[in-house]
Amino acid sequence: MDPSDPPGLEQLFEHAPCGHLVADASGRLLLVNATLCEWLGYDKHELLAAGGFADLLSIGGRIFHQTHIVPLLRMQGSVAEVKLDLRRKNGTLLPVIVNARELDWKGATFLHVAIFVVEDRHRYERELLLQRQRAEQLAAENARGQQELDAERHRAEERAVFAEKLVGMVSHDIRNPLSVIQMSTVLLERSGLSAMQRQVVDRVSRAVKRVHHLVGDLLDFTQAKLGRGLQVASEEVDLHRSVADSIADLQVANPGREIRHVQRGAQTCVADVNRILQAVGNLASNAIAHGAADRPITVVTESASQEFRISVHNHGPVIPAQQIPHLFEPMVRGADADAEGGVGLGLFIVREIVERHHGSIHVDSTQQGGTTFVVTIPCHPPAGNR
């Protein structure tokens, strides 16, 4: 090849590596190059007779042409990188990128369009679009799922608050008539009763105390399980002394049993003393109910470093190993459950109280050693989290 004799402009136009077309102001085709004819499968004269540039487009493409490309050409003289589909002679579509420019030539305006085939890019873009649609769909599904979750949580919270209110109201309404019954038994006791009548009044009085207790447990359970958690108000207290006093009371109330208190160490702690005594009371009541009647019950309070430990020990029947993991669940009662056993909320409430104090509870039950519940709480729980 002679480098001094390159192809002429005509050759370069006809076989350029892109399609070329020139149209008049109305869009009628005046010139098309061989590359474009080849891509679209037309002979040159066929293509020139096909009409205007817009006639090569799909109907949707023509609307886009009229609403976007024509105005842009008129306003800024050119457009670039417009993605269109051209119709081949055989009806199939050819994805192309189009650059176009208006050309003023000897008083007339012409349109010069350069066309690039973009089949690979088209496939890639379709894939991107599909992925975006898929992502949008997933996002919408997620949002719907989240909305449902939120609505469900909201309903659950409403149910919990309602349950708490209901139980609170009912408990309150039960306590009032209970107090009337209790006061009436006191009045009856003073009115000179026969021995048999006194026994009956005693029974009524004990039953009223138990119902009081049950109502209290029910309230606590509702708060802990359905509501906003057990309410705890901590302050600096001497737990050794408080537990000692409460054990002494328990001894008075249960004259037939031996209940000891052993103190190790001396230290004040930050805790809700009423809640701690409630826990100790529940554990001791269990020991009285389930322990061997002829053996002592021992409550040990022990403070060392930053911990406070309370253990409640009794002799008697072993708690079966398979029961231990479920012992603290509500409504679980021992195998020897009897009329004094309550509704099975005692240990659940103990564990709730311990957890609200950031502590832990363990149980150990053997034939020789007996049964020991050990509660351990930090003496100074993390600030702002009491």
Partner 1 sequence: MGVLERHNVHLSGSGRAMVFVHGFGCDQNMWRLVAPHFAKSHQVVLLDLVGSGNSDLSAYDKQKYASLRGHARDMCEVLAVLGISNAVFVGHSVSAMIGLLAGLQCPDRIGAQVMVGPSPSYINDGDYFGGFDRSDIEQLLETLEANYLGWSSNMAPVIMGAPQQPELAQELTNSFCRTDPEIARHFARVTFLSDHRADLPNCRAPTLILQCSEDIIAPLAVGEYMKRHIPNSTLKVIKNVGHCPHLSSPSASVDAIESFLHGA
Looking at beta carbons only, is 57 or 270 nearer to partner 1? 57
Q: Helices in 105-238 by DSSP H: which ranges?
A: 119-189, 195-221
What's the min distance (Å) between Cβ of 144 and partner 1? 18
Beta carbon nearer to partner 1, 7 or 60: 60
Angle CA 288–289–292, to nearest 5: 65
Closer residue to partner 1 (CB): 52 or 334 = 52
CB of 117 to partner 1, least distance (A): 14
CA distance 187 to 195: 16
Give the interface segment with partner 1, choosing from 63-71, 280-288, 305-313, 317-325 (CB under 8 A). 63-71
Smallest distance, partner 1 to C-beta of residue 131, A: 12
Q: Is residue 95 within 8 Å of 116, Cβ to Cβ?
A: no
CA separation for the pair 307, 354 (Å, rounded):
13
Which structure tokens are listed for 75? 């306003």
Q: How many CB atoms lie within 10 A of CB 229?
A: 11
**Exactly one of 68, 203, 210, 260 binds partner 1 (CB under 8 A); which one?**
68
Pick the closest to residue 287 from 201, 224, 370, 220 (CA basis). 370
The tokens for 32 are 């098309």
SS3 75: helix
Minimum distance of partner 1 from residue 92's CB (angstroms): 14
Name the region of 98 (left: φ>0; alpha: ψ -120 to 50; beta: rest). Answer: beta
Ramachandran sector of residue 384 (left: φ over 0; alpha: ψ -120 to 50; beta: rest):
left
Question: Interface mask (CB under 8 A) for partner 1, residues 23-62, using x and -?
Answer: --xxx------------------------x-x---xxxxx
Does 305 engage in binding with partner 1 (CB under 8 A)? no
Spatial contact of 270 and 235, defined as CB atoms under 8 Å apart:
yes
Q: Which is nearer to partner 1, 62 or 175 (CB)?
A: 62
Stretch that binds partner 1, among 34-42, 67-75, 160-168, 198-206 (CB under 8 A): 67-75
Query: What is 273-302 written as a DSSP string?
Result: HHHHHHHHHHHHHHHHHHS-TTS-EEEEEE
Q: Which tokens belong to 64?
A: 């886009």
Cβ-proximal residues to 382 (8 Å cutoff; 6+ apart), any chain: 358
User: CB 128 → partner 1: shortest distance, Å?
Assistant: 7
Q: Closest Cα to residue 32, out of 90, 101, 111?
A: 111
Give residues 69-128 in contact with partner 1 (rule: CB under 8 A): 70-72, 74-85, 99, 101-102, 104, 122, 125, 128
CB of 112 to partner 1, least distance (A): 10
Shortest Cβ 29–partner 1 spacing (Å):
13
C-alpha 348/C-alpha 226 separation (Å) is 13
Pick 80 or 156: Cβ nearer partner 1: 80
Count the site residues for partner 1 by CB under 8 A: 38
Residue with Cβ nearer partner 1 (6 or 71): 71
Which of 129, 156 has the CB closer to partner 1? 129
Site string for partner 1, 171-190 (x = CB under 8 A): --------------------
What is the nearest approach in angstroms of partner 1 to the Cβ of residue 354? 54
Min dist CB 63 to partner 1, Å, is 5
Distance CA 300, CA 315 (A): 15
Residues of this chain, 263-292, that bind partner 1 according to CB under 8 A:
none
Distance CA 276, CA 381 (A): 14
Judged by CB, which is closer to partner 1: 59, or 195? 59
Contact window for partner 1 (CB under 8 A) among 20-28, 233-241, 317-325, 362-370 = 20-28
CB of 25 closer than 8 Å to CB of 111: yes
129 vs 248 by CB, closer to partner 1: 129
Contact residues: partner 1, CB under 8 A: 25-27, 52, 54, 58-64, 66-68, 70-72, 74-85, 99, 101-102, 104, 122, 125, 128-129
